[in-house]
Structure 1
Amino acid sequence: MKNLKLVALSVLFGLSSFCYAQDNDEVRMGTKKQVSDDIPVAPAEYRRPEGYSPVEHRYKYNLTDLKDTYSETIMEKAQKEFNRVVSVNGAGKWKPSSASLDSHQCPEWYQDIKFGMFVDWGPWAIGGWAVKRGLKEPMYPDWYEHRLDNDANCEKYHDKNWGTDFERDDLLPFFQGKRYEPEKLIDIAVESGMKYVIPFSKHCTGYCLWPSSYTFRDAGDMAGNDFIRPLADNARAKGLKFGFYLCLMEWEYPIIDHDGTLINQYFPDKYASYTPKLETWCMGKIPVRDYLRDYLIPLSVEHIDLYDPDILWYDSEWEASLNVQGSYDIAAYFYNHAEGRKEVAVNDRYGFQNGKSLRGYRGDFYTSEYGLFMPEDRKEGYIWEENRGISQSFGFNWQDTEENVITSKEFVHTFVDVISRGGNFLLLVNLDGQGALPKVQERRLKDVGKWLKVNGEGIYATRAYSTTKENNICYTRSKDEKTVYAISLEWPGKELSLKSVQPAAGSKVYMLGYNEPLKWISKDGVTAITLPAKLQKEANRPCEHAYTFKIQK
């Protein structure tokens, strides 16, 4: 990858960005073929129930039935909706062009909110497994279904726990959200200090967490539910921003060819002849002639109209060109839908243009993942967001334990590092197959919330200071540049020495959570802050993990 450089992040268990970047695509897509001899037997909840017959529970219509019964009606509806989108974008301020989209400014509120919850949940959580890797390497259980047909470890695990006759989409009838508590999840987000929530509304599998009128592969038809509405409503009721996570490309989609036969459009934008496997890869997907106009764009604007999100978060755009993804059309509609009512934001995962990824070049904010790449020639003053898992796993993994869920201290240090460099932090949590947040993750989130209750002034609505880090001290500043926050990642002892900030003459210096001003002197370019004797006892300190000092310039 040319003209890219690694973002220096302190990440999971000392994971280096370089290690992750080398393996990322192979890990996610399952193309690494090192077969493990240690394939476990899953707990009863995460393996096939005794006596269960998958064939008896498959979707009532096969793809030919869906084509013959529903395709023409759906394509007619979709075409009308596509024409409406074209009309809205034609009349609106925002156009589906690079010049128009690039003129959109990231809202100030996005730069202020700093901390969000990324809810990784879908049918893959029923499988809930990925082959164990070293503690320095992430795992991607949310690609479980895809790996059943191209990863030897996952195939071996699946055969052992679900059976050789149990196909990928045979997981769908189990995905019912029996333990899904959206109001509780939002309460946990609030208690944790999070200011925005983005669920995986449509992942690469194509399963929609809302009842969509453009597919039967959705929560309405397959679970009799709408998993998005209560989450969105509760988020807004608690003052949180809400996002729409949208995978632009799907692993497979049934396409009606020019002669009326079915073919497979598969990830990222390739075509293959129909095989019976397509039936158990695409259950509930209604075949169409044009993936973009007959499906993706109408389905996406349906979600925008129904739930009025504040953030549009694209994904699965890698390798595919813009002309097959509709990202410009959807983003322009999103902007026009909000124009005059509220400010909204779109990330940078638009796709490829002239063979070049637009990550880091287009969008209101740029996204890194476990400290992945950002281009060297990104725009000056870029706004960005780091996303990573609370555990070693992207997606629910029944193997996760205290050992591979990030500690509270490790998270606070990583979080502070990102914020000091002007970023937001979108923390991915993994709901289990029926929608519950694992207790170990809940505990970590609440620990972070306790820290933020004391130190939030130095985090929210701050900006990067001229010096981001000095030894083990990270800096932020207020938007008016009158206050600097020095966040020490370790207890400084009896004295904190700073070379990068000079307090205003006669001003007072405070440690957040401690009400009394601290003594300080500046000499020869060094500011020395004295810590009281009573704070040398750990039990008397206002928090753990990191300590914030407020300095007036």
Structure 2
Amino acid sequence: MDRRKFIVNGYGLTSGLLLAGNLQALMPAGRDLQAKYSKKYSHRLPLSDHHYQRTCGYVEETPVSAYNWAPDSAYEDFQDIKFGIRLHWGIYSLLRLRGESWPYLQLLPEEKQTYQELYKSWYPGGFDADEWVNFFAESGAKMFAFTSKHHDGFSMFDTNARVKKRVNWLAPGGPAIEDCDLAYSIMETPFKRDIVKELTTAAQRKGMKVDLYFSHPDWYDSDFRPYNYHPLQVPDSATIAVVGKNKTPEIEDPKKYFAKAGLVIKPNPSKEEVTRMMARHRLQLEELLTKYGHIDMVCLDQWLGPEVWPVLRDTMLHLRKISPQTMFRARGIGNYGDYYTPEGFVPGSKENSDTPWFVIHSLGGSFSYEADEQKYKGASWVVKNLVDAVAKGGNFMAGIGPDGNGQFHPAAIAQLKETGKWLKLNGEGIYATRARGADQWKEGDHIRFTRSKDNRAVYAFSYEWPGEQLVLKTVRPPKGATIRFLGFSEALKWKYDSAKGLIIAISPEWRDKFRGAANLTYGLRIEMA
């Protein structure tokens, strides 16, 4: 079936959910499409991306003509960042759960009820926004991503959106949907302080960019059933929540997936519940983009489903109008996204995608608080992954989480501050750089390259001490060019051999000049003009 007819007839007008004002957006794009694609990027996610695979069956490949991505200036700023810190903090931190709120799905009914009540006594007295942001800056980060709301539905900001239906997991006769009227947010804790406001204010004072994470699904609000592994499934789960081009059910075997917790089936959501769900979803995103000054990025996560995609698409059109400079992560919105996030790995090739990307990788055993010091991977791991990502044209985020009191593990602090020390010496070859052309981003397993945006310098990074001679085959400086170690002013002697390439001489006394963090990876600046 034609993709556009599929959108309109299959999940648009017949669903009763498509907002009337969006009809024009479904018209063929024509010349407007050509204008959009004259930008630097094709806005095409890698076919291998997990979240793309989950939505490509109903999210159109080519965005509707009324849609605009962020401008080139926002993309340029995004690609200048290079290093950031990813923060997961929420109710799950009180229980020190690894895997953020995901373990909630496997909790027994009484455990789920206890989890939902934890906010009533939560007072994270160790939280200090300025202290956090100063720590991020000392770590060399140019941005941070913060969880405004994870899948469990708890909001870490002052929201006017209200939850009207939730689950009573201990109701007589089994879990039951009950009426309620609350925000389920940090403002209803004894703490009563808007965490997002304090962090964004501190970041803006420091000149640090902000990325606000927001989960599409919400496991506290029963209106969101059964989307995206919601703990409440429904008789029509297999058709309401489907994924991919084959329209397979999101949870192919719910009884197996919820084996420990027990499968809970409730009636299909009513039209009123679905409308209320999407209105609350939109309101919260609108709040994040209008209450806290300019937000550089919004880190959307997971997806909803084909039945509500027309409304989510309309929400994206709305958000673009109120915050055109904001970069949106592609999760749940396919090629409407401005950037995507390889999770837990650095792509093997810089041609992985021409959509800007930001690797997200946990420093500890998961993105949430890690109590085991041995699971923190070390500053060397951060630096090597950062250099590898930047050489390929991407960015890198190290993920950590504070404990329930708002304090980070000493190992996380020490390792990231060590990273910051390295960046003070080598940042010139990292921040605001670009990848070299073709496959010239590396030589062998231990050498990575970046370049200045004006092509006046090439930066070479060696994961290992280069010894008394470093030979580079793909770099040919002009006669009289200066080559030096980053962080040092002294010039190194060099020559160019047509057969061997660039030969840089490194006298033995140089080895003693590198101490502490300087030894994480060795960077050189090679003058090219």
What's the TM-score once normalised by structure 2's chain length? 0.71
User: 2:455 maps to which residue?
Assistant: 481
Q: SS of the counterpart of 1:414? A: helix
Confirm or deny: 8 A CA contact 1:384 1:424 kept in the other structure: yes
- Residue number among 475, 480, 492 corresponding to 1:506 in the alignment: 480
* Of 537-546 and 433-442, the range deviating more from structure 2: 537-546
Distance 1:550 1:238 in 2: 28
Deviations 1:446-468 (A, max 9, x none): 00000000000000000011211
Match of 2:228 in 1: 267
User: Contact 1:389–1:427 (CA<8 Å) still a contact in 2?
Assistant: yes
Contact preservation (8 Å) 2:369, 2:408: no
CA 1:520–1:335: 2 relative to 1, 3 Å: same
8 Å CA contact retained: 1:114, 1:461: yes
In structure 2, the partner of 1:121 is 89
The verdict on how the C-alpha distance between 1:144 and 1:485 changes in structure 2, with shifts beyond 3 A counting, is: same
What is the rounded CA distance, in whole Å, between the counterparts of 1:448 and 1:372 in structure 2?
Answer: 18
Change (3 A) 1:541 1:174: closer
Partner SS, residue 465 of structure 1: coil
> SS of 1:455's equivalent?
helix
The 1:201–1:165 alpha-carbon spacing in structure 2 relative to 1, beyond 3 Å, is: closer
User: What's the counterpart of residue 213 of structure 2?
Assistant: 245
1:333 equivalent in alignment to 2:318: yes
Query: 1:465/1:244 Cα in 2 relative to 1: closer, same or farther (>3 Å)?
Result: same
**Given the alignment of the two structures, is residue 312 of structure 1 paired with residue 298 of structure 2, yes or no?**
yes
The 3-state SS of whatever aligns with 2:408 is coil
1:124, distance to aligned residue in structure 2 (A): 0.5
Q: Equivalent residue of 2:464, what SS?
A: coil
Q: For the Cα contact (< 8 Å) 2:88–2:100, is it kept in 1?
A: no
Matching residue of 2:327: 345
Give distance in 2, aligned partners of 1:346 and 1:116: 16
After alignment, is 528-537 or 163-172 more displaced?
163-172
Structure 2 residue 116 is matched with structure 1 residue 144: no
The equivalent of 1:3 in structure 2 is none
SS of residue matched to 2:234: strand
Q: Are the equivalent residues in 2 in contact too, given 1:510–1:516 (CA < 8 A)?
A: yes
2:511 to 503, 524, 536: 536
Change (3 A) 1:405 1:98: farther
> Superposition pairs for residues 13-412 of structure 1, below 5 Å?
97-101=63-67, 103-106=69-72, 107=74, 108-130=76-98, 140-149=99-108, 167-215=114-162, 216-222=183-189, 223-255=191-223, 264-268=225-229, 271-272=233-234, 288=273, 290-307=275-292, 308-317=294-303, 320-321=305-306, 323-324=308-309, 326-339=311-324, 343-351=325-333, 358=334, 361-371=335-345, 381-398=354-371, 400-401=372-373, 403-412=374-383
Q: CA deviation at 1:533?
A: 2.7
Residue range with higher mean Cα deviation, 387-396 or 529-538: 529-538
**Cα RMSD between the aligned structures?**
3.5
Q: What is the one-letter code of the residue matched to 2:504? A: I
Q: Deviations over 1:125-147 (max 9, x none)?
A: 111134xxxxxxxxx24423223
Q: How far apart are 1:333 and its partner, in Å?
A: 2.9
Letter in 2 for 1:544: N
Separation in structure 1 between the aligned mates of residue 349 and residue 285 of structure 2, nearest angstrom: 28
Q: CA deviation at 1:242?
A: 1.2
State the 1:252 CA deviation.
4.8
Deviations 1:9-58 (A, max 9, x none): xxxxxxxxxxxxxxxxxxxxxxxxxxxxxxxxxxxxxxxxxxxxxxxxxx
Secondary structure, aligned partner of 1:369: coil
Secondary structure in structure 2 of the residue aligned to 1:537: helix
> Aligned letter for 2:432?
A
Amino acid at match of 2:488: Y
CA separation of 1:550 and 1:372: change in aligned 2, threshold 3 A: closer
Q: Secondary structure at the match of 1:300?
A: helix
Using the alignment, how far apart are the partners of 1:206 and 1:227 within structure 2? 15
Deviation at 1:485, TM superposition (A): 0.3
Relative to 1, partners in 2 of residues 1:141 and 1:397: Cα closer, same or farther, differing over 3 Å?
A: farther
Give, in angstroms, the shift of residue 101 of structure 1. Answer: 3.9
Using a 3 Å threshold, how does the CA distance of structure 1 residues 321 and 409 change in structure 2: closer, same or farther? same
| C-alpha distance 327-417 of structure 1, shift in aligned 2 (>3 A) | farther
Alignment identity in percent? 25
Match of 2:51? none
Cα gap change, 1:188/1:217 in structure 2, threshold over 3 Å: closer, same or farther?
same
Partner of 2:415: 444
Alignment partner, residue 394 of structure 2 = 423
Is 1:546 aligned to 2:528, yes or no?
no
Seen in structure 2, the aligned counterparts of structure 1 residues 99 and 476 have a Cα distance that, compared at 3 Å, is farther
TM-score, with normalisation over the residues of structure 1? 0.68
Determine if contact 1:101/1:363 at 8 Å carries over to the other structure: no
- Between 321-330 and 494-503, report the one with greater CA deviation: 321-330
Q: What CA deviation, in whole Å up to 9, does each residue of 1:296-340 have, x standing for no partner? A: 1112112211113111111022x733734854334333332234x
CA-CA distance at 1:249 after TM superposition: 1.2
Shift in alpha-carbon separation, 1:434–1:330, aligned structure 2, 3 A? farther
Cα distance in 2 for residues equivalent to 1:372 and 1:517: 33
- The CA distance in 2 between the partners of 1:447 and 1:110, in whole Å, is 24
Give the aligned residue type for 2:387: V
SS in 2 for 1:190: helix
DSSP-derived class of the 1:228 partner:
helix
